[in-house]
């Protein structure tokens, strides 16, 4: 008797679907709409949260905003109606506005009737005889489906530091990625923040406005660029609505999935220092993600070109931060943009406040927590609240936490010990009919994420139709095609400076995680590549006929 059959005997029959989707965030929501409403499949989505939104449901910390190229282009493109009818208010929307948008989409597409909220999927197993996945949940619901789509998010499993005494700290303690839904007051409190990635950089200035004292515990100084968030003007919104077709076309053509014209290929070293300075200054003043979309083409590949931008930003930090010692501690020393670029709103400025202290953990490491303080190698800081802005076990962490069990009873943890083996960033040998969205080996966070999810799911939809039309039962890639794909991913990344920096992109933020650059860095070319595979009859995949 297989373990699936055994479980079935123990806890009764499973609900049956064509597709189960894990995660009701941006990707899972589109998966449901596309597969249910467009392809006519029976679909059930599971999510541990009480409503839609994924990342945006969880990340409600003060200052949390879209920090990519912002609204109105952080949204779905498959429906012109959705684009025309939602009123985005700011260029870098706050989490609550993105959540309103996702609620609007869920209402409009009547998604909630097929989503099981407050239901955490804690087991997933493939049965070779029936060619089906069976999932178990913490609410006792069991479901079985031919296909399983893992849309649990690239940034959803919190990375929490294991520091002696941290669990004894008796004050309030929050991780930015699991921020409480009730208001959190910093008034009159001494707050320590660990972490200066996007979440720390966004939240620290907001916390400092209200708290009595803020102690920032910084392990790696970061480059941050002005967000220059502002209200969208009525003219901008009207123009975007009028030119939607051409905007969408641009998004599909653009390497990163945003409606901007491609840059002429130009090295930073082709310009004089004065010309470079003028460009960098203009982009700094403009703010937003335009910095990264309008740069020289070799910033991420040439050390010398990279240094021109890094020096410019270091100069800005020195200009903004009044105390030279604090400015020294804030000087980043990695290649600029090889850690996720951060957009800030008054981050460096907040170190000019009397109530903000910067602790450089490279000089003064954290030794332990007590119930009322954090103790470093230099001194004890009494605190009332601890904010962990310490990021995520990104890209692979959420799927590994589920740890699906595939063919021959092999678990994903076993399969992914040394590397996140996959083909096309969506499929895994030994795990038939399982698809990942924004997983390792895909462009993921290097592409406009809602659009990227749409494009991956459109591809998956066509693949499911192919399987249905050909009366096939299961598909999975060969290990040879995984190896070739891995070499392609590595080849693209290794031509850049990205793998040289420790970051969550390389997995180096989580102890013991395989350290390599997992994203397919060629942006939109990825979608041409996967379309090519489909056109060649799904080259690199093995198919099995449907069961008798
Ligand atoms: P990030 O970008 O991973 O930042 C986490 C921060 O926490 C970063 O400064 C880390 O330092 C720091 N960190 C992590 N663990 C520790 C320990 N143990 N001790 C001290 N400091 C630590 O996560 P975010 O949530 O800010 O942003 C994630 C993404 O969300 C972001 O890139 C956007 O795409 C949206 P490190 O740099 O690793 O030395």
* Ligand 1, atom 12: closest residue by C-alpha: 195
Distance in Å, CA 49 to ligand 1 centroid: 23
pLDDT given for residue 10 in this prediction = 59
Q: Which atom of ligand 1 is nearest to the CA of 195?
A: 7
* CA–CA distances in Å: residue 425 to residues 124, 439, 464, 484, 526: 20, 6, 17, 12, 10
Strand 121-127 with 132-137, pairing: antiparallel
Minimal CA–CA distance to 433: which of 57, 128, 121, 152? 128
Which of 422, 141, 27 minimizes the C-alpha distance to 35? 27
DSSP of 35-89: IIIIT---EEEE-SSSSS-THHHH---TT-B--SS-TTSSS--S-HHHHHH----
Q: Which of 54, 391, 503 to mutate to test the pocket of ligand 1 (most atoms within 8 A of CB)?
A: 391
Q: Is the omega angle on the peptide bond into residue 302 within 30 degrees of 0, that is, cis?
A: no
Residue showing tokens 């004089």: 272
Q: Which distant-in-sequence residues (6+ apart) come within 8 Å of 402 by Cβ? A: 22, 121, 122, 123, 124, 150, 152, 412
Residues in the chain: 548
- Location of structure tokens 């939104």: 53
Taking each helix axis from N to C end, the angle separating 449-469 and 525-535, rounded to the nearest 10 degrees, works out to: 0
Residue 195 Cα to ligand 1 middle (Å) = 5
DSSP secondary structure string for all residues of 117-157: TT--EEEEEEETTTTEEEEEETTS-EEEEEEEEE---SS-S
Tokens 């005997």 locate to 9
Contact partners, residue 12, CB within 8 Å, separation at least 6: 142
Cα distance between residue 48 and residue 217, in whole Å: 31
Burial of 199 (0-12, 13-18, 19+ CB in 10 A): buried
Q: Phi-psi region for residue 460, left (φ > 0), alpha (ψ -120 to 50) or beta?
A: alpha
| pLDDT on residue 8 | 53
Q: Which helix (H) or strand (E) holds 98?
A: helix 95-108
Average pLDDT per block of 10 residues along the chain, 548 residues long = 54 90 98 98 98 97 88 88 93 95 98 98 97 96 98 97 96 98 97 98 98 98 95 91 93 90 87 96 91 89 98 98 98 97 96 98 97 98 98 98 98 98 98 98 95 98 97 97 98 98 96 96 95 98 91
Q: Which residue's entry shows tokens 């609900």?
A: 15
Dihedral of alpha carbons 56, 59, 64, 67, sign: negative
Q: Interior CA angle at 224 toward 221 and 226, to 5°?
A: 155
Q: Look at the block and give the residue holding tokens 């800030």.
A: 344
CA 306 – ligand 1 centroid, Å? 22
378 phi/psi in degrees, rounded to 5: -100, -40
**Residue owning tokens 């899972």:** 28
Most informative mutation of 390, 445, 510, 519 for ligand 1 (most atoms within 8 A of CB)? 390
Instruction: Name all residues whose Cβ lies below 6 A of ligand 1.
Output: 155, 161, 176, 194-200, 219-220, 340, 361, 389-392, 445, 504, 509
Alpha helices in 176-302 (DSSP H): 198-210, 234-242, 244-253, 273-286, 290-293
**In 3-state terms, what secondary structure has residue 218?**
strand
What sign does the dihedral 170-175-178-182 (CA atoms) show?
Answer: positive
Return the pLDDT at 484: 98
Rounded CA-CA distance 485/488 in Å is 5
Task: Tell me what pLDDT residue 7 has.
Answer: 55
Q: How far is the CA of 455 from the centre of ligand 1 (A)?
A: 28
Closest atom, ligand 1, to C-alpha of 391 = 23
Which atom of ligand 1 lies at the shortest distance from residue 202's CA?
A: 26
């Amino acid at each position: 008797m297989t373990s699936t059959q055994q479980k079935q005997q123990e806890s009764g029959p499973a609900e049956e679907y064509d597709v189960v989707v894990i995660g009701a965030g941006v990707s899972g929501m589109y998966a449901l709409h596309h597969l249910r409403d467009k392809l006519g499949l029976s679909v059930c989505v599971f999510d541990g949260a009480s409503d839609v939104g994924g990342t945006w449901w969880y990340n409600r910390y003060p200052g949390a905003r879209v920090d990519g190229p912002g609204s109105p282009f952080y949204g779905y493109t498959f429906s012109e109606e959705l684009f025309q009818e939602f009123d985005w208010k700011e260029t870098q929307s706050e989490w609550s506005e993105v959540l309103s948008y996702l609620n609007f989409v869920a209402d409009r597409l009547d998604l909630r009737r097929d989503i099981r909220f407050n239901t955490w999927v804690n087991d997933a197993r493939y049965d070779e005889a029936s060619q089906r996945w069976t999932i178990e949940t913490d609410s006792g619901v069991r479901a079985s489906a031919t296909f399983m789509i893992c849309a649990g998010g690239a940034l959803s499993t919190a990375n929490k530091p294991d520091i002696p005494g941290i669990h004894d700290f008796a004050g309030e303690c929050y991780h930015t990625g699991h921020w409480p839904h009730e208001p959190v007051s910093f008034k009159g409190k001494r707050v320590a923040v660990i972490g200066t990635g996007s979440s720390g950089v966004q939240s620290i200035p907001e916390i400092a406005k209200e708290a009595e004292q803020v102690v920032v515990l910084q392990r790696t100084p970061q480059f941050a660029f002005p967000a220059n968030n502002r209200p969208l003007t009525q003219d901008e919104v009207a123009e975007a609505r009028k030119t939607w077709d051409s905007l969408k076309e641009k998004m599909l053509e653009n390497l990163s999935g945003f409606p901007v014209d491609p840059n002429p290929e130009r090295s930073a070293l082709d310009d004089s220092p004065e010309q470079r300075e003028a460009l960098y200054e203009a982009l700094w003043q403009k703010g937003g993600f335009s910095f990264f979309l309008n740069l020289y083409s070799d910033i991420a590949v040439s050390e010398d070109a990279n240094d021109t931008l890094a020096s410019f930003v270091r100069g800005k930090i020195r200009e903004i931060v009044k105390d030279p010692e604090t400015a020294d501690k804030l000087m980043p020393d990695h290649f600029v943009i090889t850690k996720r670029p951060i957009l800030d709103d008054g981050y460096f400025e907040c170190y000019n406040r009397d109530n903000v202290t910067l602790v450089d953990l490279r000089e003064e490491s954290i030794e332990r927590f007590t119930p009322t303080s954090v103790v470093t190698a230099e001194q004890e800081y009494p605190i009332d609240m601890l904010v962990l802005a310490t990021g995520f076990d990104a890209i692979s962490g959420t799927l590994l936490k589920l740890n699906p069990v595939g063919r021959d009873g092999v678990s994903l943890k076993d399969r992914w010990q040394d590397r996140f083996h996959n083909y096309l960033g969506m499929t895994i040998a030994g795990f038939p009919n399982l698809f990942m969205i924004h997983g390792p080996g895909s462009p993921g966070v290097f592409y406009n994420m809602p659009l990227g999810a749409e494009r991956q799911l459109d591809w998956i939809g066509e693949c499911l139709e192919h399987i249905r039309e050909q009366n096939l039962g299961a598909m999975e890639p060969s290990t040879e095609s995984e190896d070739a794909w891995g070499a392609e991913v590595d080849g693209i990344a290794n031509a850049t400076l990205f793998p040289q920096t420790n970051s969550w992109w390389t997995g180096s933020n989580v102890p013991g995680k395989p350290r390599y650059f997992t994203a397919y860095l060629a942006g939109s070319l990825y979608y041409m590549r996967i379309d090519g595979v489909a056109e060649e009859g799904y080259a690199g995949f093995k198919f099995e006929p449907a069961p008798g």
